[in-house]
Structure 1
Amino acid sequence: MVDREKEQEALNLVSMQMILHAGDARNDVMEALKCCEEESYDRAEELLEKANKDIVASHKLQTETVQKEARGEEPIFSLLFAHAQDTLMTVKSEYEIAKRLVRVFRRLDEKIDGMQA
């Protein structure tokens, strides 16, 4: 039973790390969208690159955990880990949408500037 408790504790730690990375990514995505509103597209793209690094870090933790089950290790159910996965996937979607929005608005502004010239 002690080993199972240690495994649960380790999974909780991984889950919290995933949530922290995903939360940092979400903050950067939201800040990037604010920069987009202010037409600061270069800064928005920098923030999105930073967000992506946190998304990748969180995803790596998730993958390492899921691979344990694929190797035949008995999985531990954890609501916290499920929440971490949900948070990661939501932020990943927000990131993808924000990335496109920044590109679209940059192009629109470039077209408008070209028409005014």
Structure 2
Amino acid sequence: MEGLELISFNIISNVGSAKSMVMESMQKSRLGDFESAEKLIEEANKYLLIGEKEHFKVITQEAKEKNVELTILFMHAEDQLMSTVTLRDIANEVLENYKMMYDLKKIIEGKCQ
């Protein structure tokens, strides 16, 4: 395996790991384990960066040579990359929302005692 096929699989592999971590971070957020959720997102960002660097190789090649033949596999890899970046952004918002909810819950519980 080489060229665009290898790049595609590198993107899919790394982004898949990132996506799993992002999903787990949202579960941790829901349970109030904010520190773990933040660490998972940080770790996911490392995998996303690898995927983005692989993707940039293709963009650079196209800019230089103008002869990149796109495949369904590469389009799938791009789709996975873009959707995981979006999911990561949503996970960050979910994390912040759960933090606010937990803070509000503490305030309410403190006033009810």
Q: Which TM-score applies when normalising by structure 2? A: 0.91
For 1:19, the equivalent position in structure 2 comes to: 12
Counterpart among 60, 64, 68 of residue 75 in structure 1: 68
Report the RMSD for the aligned CA atoms in angstroms.
1.3
Structure 2 stretches of 5 or more lacking a match? Answer: none
Counterpart among 94, 99, 102 of residue 109 in structure 1: 102
For 1:100, the equivalent position in structure 2 comes to: 93
Q: Within 2, Cα distance between the matches of 1:26 and 1:46?
A: 14
| 2:70 is aligned with 1:85 | no
Alignment coverage as a number of residue pairs: 110
Q: Within 2, Cα distance between the matches of 1:23 and 1:35?
A: 18
Percent of matched pairs sharing the same residue? 26
| 2:6 is aligned with 1:10 | no
For 2:42, the equivalent position in structure 1 comes to: 49
For 2:21, the equivalent position in structure 1 comes to: 28
Question: Runs of 4 or more off by more than 6 Å in structure 1?
Answer: none
1:82-106 superposed Cα distances (whole Å, 9 cap, x missing partner): 1100000011111100111001110
Code of the aligned partner of 2:91: A
